[in-house]
Amino acid sequence: MEGAMQADAKIRSESGTESGPRGPACSLRHFACEQNLLSRPDGSASFLQGVAEKSRERLIRNTCEAVVLGTLHPRTSITVVLQVISDAGSLLACCLNAACMALVDAGVPMRALFCGVTCALNSDGTLVLDPTAKQEKEARAILTFALDSVERKLLMSTTKGLYSDAEVPVWRWGEGQVPPSRT
Amino acid sequence: FSTCFRTVEPLEYYRRFLKENCRPDGRELGEFRTTTVNIGSISTADGSALVKLGNTTVICGIKAEFAAPPTDTPDKGYVVPNVDLPPLCSSRFRSGPPGEEAQVASQFIADVIENSQIIQKEDLCISPGKLSWVLYCDIICLDYDGNILDACTFALLAALKNVQLPEVTINEETGLAEVNLKKKSYLNIRTHPVATSFAVFDDTLLIVDPTGEEEHLATGTLTVVMDEEGKLCCLHKPGGSGLTGAKLQDCMSRAVTRHKEVKKLMDEVIKKKSSYVKCRQVWKGAFPER
């Protein structure tokens, strides 16, 4: 039985509220998620061009493939269409979150949920989570990760810039350790 | 019988070897294939290198041309990489525009160049605002047997070390560039990024330098690009099975060792000036059990 499922999700991050400095550095900006907004989603493969977009597509696709239980839907195509409405920094992480929420909305069986998060490493060694576009430009390195919800393992990672592994504490998590909670 | 089993049940075939902590080609889990590098073989290019990682063969040719510098950074030149995976290297590629794998590899190499600052783009400027060098780095795969990213990074590095640019002066009266082909100088290579790729099997087992068959059976891949100070230029993990922090640490220490071996090989080949050097490195002991 062949079928094609398409789902959309929009994730809006408020772009007006982080012009000033945020409280603790490890906090995320406010985010909202709405599902099932569009009744007739369209395909968007034609909108994506260029080599950088292809690279991003592959990252998102491989992350989704790692969690979706494809064996329960043989001979099925699951198309995830992502439309960027506004880009205020941390775009790839936002796309990953949107893709996960869309898959949940579509009812696609998954092994785990995943979330995307971006970290910006400044020249003085401080780590800022969920950077704005301005903070991304000024940072020494930008690291984007996708973590799965069940085992807290690293599903996807892509980095830009030069840094040493001692500066990124996320890799110090051993098995069974819970990452520090963020208020 | 074993060849039939390998074709019919490749994953089970591999699992039997992995249980004994080795692989069908006799390597240990943390062992690289024989690495061979040859520089300066293309006489028409300004710099070239051929790298073989087992059967995977990649050639990089660099041509230097003139261009006007970008308007927003008039004191910088350009480095334009391009990875080509032609149909001749593997039956999985068709002729025509670059497929997804070639585009992803091109983007990866562009990121490595940008992140590692292997060349200071200011060194490529001849006259600010008027003339600068553009280095077209064409990386072509001649034989695809897995681990293309490591081979491409190494080929690019070796070719850049081989590039000799002639001296260019701008004639004040005519405003034209005068090239002195008799006076050539090497590029100033600031860092040496080396890529180490891993494949994840059955969500738990990590193997280094996967062959084509191993990449196909793997549940995930990871590429770590490190420079000599232990700084990471790129941690490329495009989805696939999850990894714990401890496993990532193992990968990083393996990448540090690999960097030393590759650096040694590079220095040897540069010293001997375009000679054929091979190295076979043995990694004693697989990844520690965690």
Please tell me the predicted confidence (pLDDT) of residue A178: 47
Q: Can you give the residue range of the structural domain that contains A135?
A: 30-36+50-159
Distance linking the first and last C-alpha atoms of chain A? 47
Q: Do B243 and A59 touch (CB under 8 A)?
A: no
For chain B, the domain total comes to 1
Chain B residues closer than 8 Å to A171 by CB = 245, 248-249, 252
Chain A residues closer than 8 Å to B249 by CB = 165, 171
Q: What is the CATH number of the domain that holds B73?
A: 3.30.230.70
Domain-embedded: residue A174: no
Angle at A144 between CA A65 and CA A173, to 5 degrees: 90
Domain-embedded: residue A85: yes
pLDDT higher at A172 or B103:
B103
A95, A154, A156: best to mutate for the B interface, most B CBs within 10 A: A154
Domain-embedded: residue A6: no
Q: Do A162 and B227 touch (CB under 8 A)?
A: yes
Asked if pLDDT for residue A175 goes beyond 50, the answer is: no
Work out the minimum CA distance from B99 to partner chain A, whole angstroms.
10
Domain-embedded: residue A127: yes
Please tell me the predicted confidence (pLDDT) of residue B290: 39
Per residue in B167-202, pLDDT tens? 998 888 888 888 888 888 999 999 999 999 999 988
Work out the minimum CA distance from A78 to partner chain B, whole angstroms.
17
Please tell me the predicted confidence (pLDDT) of residue B48: 93
Token pair of A30, please?
């406010």
Reference B147, options B240, B58, B277; nearest CA is: B58
**Closest partner residue to B231 among A158, A162, A174, by Cβ?**
A162
Residue environment code for B183-211, b if the CB has 16+ CB neighbours within 10 A, otherwise e: eeeebeeebbbbbbbbbbbeeebbbbbbb
Domain-embedded: residue A98: yes
Q: Looking at the complex, does the CB of residue B240 fall below 8 Å from at least one CB of chain A?
A: yes
Contact B151, B61 (CB under 8 A): no
Asked if pLDDT for residue A104 goes beyond 90, the answer is: yes
Domain-embedded: residue B21: no
B residues 59-88 near A, CB within 8 Å? none
Contact A97, A73 (CB under 8 A): no
Please tell me the predicted confidence (pLDDT) of residue A46: 33
Q: What is the CATH number of the domain that holds A57?
A: 3.30.230.70
Q: Do A175 and B246 touch (CB under 8 A)?
A: yes
| Residues whose CB is less than 8 angstroms from the CB of residue B284 and which lie 6 or more positions away in sequence, other chains included | none
Least confident of B79-83, B163-167, B241-245: B241-245
Q: What is the largest CA-CA distance in chain A?
A: 57
Rounded Cα gap, residues B275 and B38, in angstroms: 6
When pLDDT is cut at 50, 70 and 90, the band that residue A38 belongs to is low
Q: Looking at the complex, does the CB of residue B108 fall below 8 Å from at least one CB of chain A?
A: yes
Work out the minimum CA distance from A33 to partner chain B, whole angstroms.
23
Domain-embedded: residue B232: yes
Least confident of A71-75, A155-159, A170-174, A178-182: A178-182
Asked if pLDDT for residue B71 goes beyond 60, the answer is: yes
Q: Do B237 and A157 touch (CB under 8 A)?
A: yes
Please tell me the predicted confidence (pLDDT) of residue A174: 45
Please tell me the predicted confidence (pLDDT) of residue B189: 92
Chain B residues closer than 8 Å to A156 by CB = 237-240
Contact B41, B50 (CB under 8 A): yes
Q: Do A159 and B232 touch (CB under 8 A)?
A: yes
Q: Looking at the complex, does the CB of residue B239 fall below 8 Å from at least one CB of chain A?
A: yes
HSE at residue B177, side-chain half, CA atoms within 13 A, is 17
Q: Which residue of A has its CA nearest to B245?
A: A171
Q: Find residue B197's DSSP bridge partners.
A: B223
Mean pLDDT of chain A: 75
A150, A155, A168, A170: best to mutate for the B interface, most B CBs within 10 A: A155
Please tell me the predicted confidence (pLDDT) of residue A5: 41
Please tell me the predicted confidence (pLDDT) of residue B202: 84
Chain B residues closer than 8 Å to A141 by CB = 115
Per residue in A114-131, pLDDT tens? 999 999 999 888 889 999
Domain-embedded: residue A115: yes
Q: Look at residue B200 and give its three-state secondary structure.
A: strand
Side-by-side strand order, sheet with A127-129 = A127-129, A114-121, A141-148, A154-161
Asked if pLDDT for residue A6 goes beyond 50, the answer is: no
Token pair of A43, please?
């395909």
The radius of gyration of chain B from alpha carbons, rounded to an integer in Å, stands at: 21
3-state helix, strand and coil shares in percent for chain B, rounded to the nearest 5: 30, 35, 35
Q: Looking at the complex, does the CB of residue B168 fall below 8 Å from at least one CB of chain A?
A: no
Q: Is residue A181 exposed (0-12), middle (13-18) or buried (19+ Cβ within 10 Å)?
A: exposed
For chain A, the domain total comes to 1
Reference B222, options B202, B204, B212, B208; nearest CA is: B208
Please tell me the predicted confidence (pLDDT) of residue A9: 41
Work out the minimum CA distance from B289 to partner chain A, whole angstroms.
12
Asked if pLDDT for residue A31 goes beyond 70, the answer is: no
Q: Do B244 and A173 touch (CB under 8 A)?
A: yes
**Closest partner residue to A58 among B100, B220, B231, by Cβ?**
B100
HSE at residue A12, side-chain half, CA atoms within 13 A, is 7
**Interface size, chain A vs chain B, as Cβ–Cβ contacts under 8 Å:** 112
Reference A164, options B261, B230, B140; nearest CA is: B230
Domain-embedded: residue B173: yes
| Percent of chain B whose predicted confidence (pLDDT) is above 90 | 51
The contact set of A with B (CB < 8 A) is 51-52, 54-55, 57-66, 141, 143, 146-148, 151, 153-165, 170-175, 177
Q: Quick one: how many helices (H) and strands (E) in chain B?
A: 6, 13
Q: Can you give the residue range of the structural domain that contains B166?
A: 33-275
Please tell me the predicted confidence (pLDDT) of residue A8: 41
| Residues whose CB is less than 8 angstroms from the CB of residue A182 and which lie 6 or more positions away in sequence, other chains included | A24, A26, A27, A28, A129
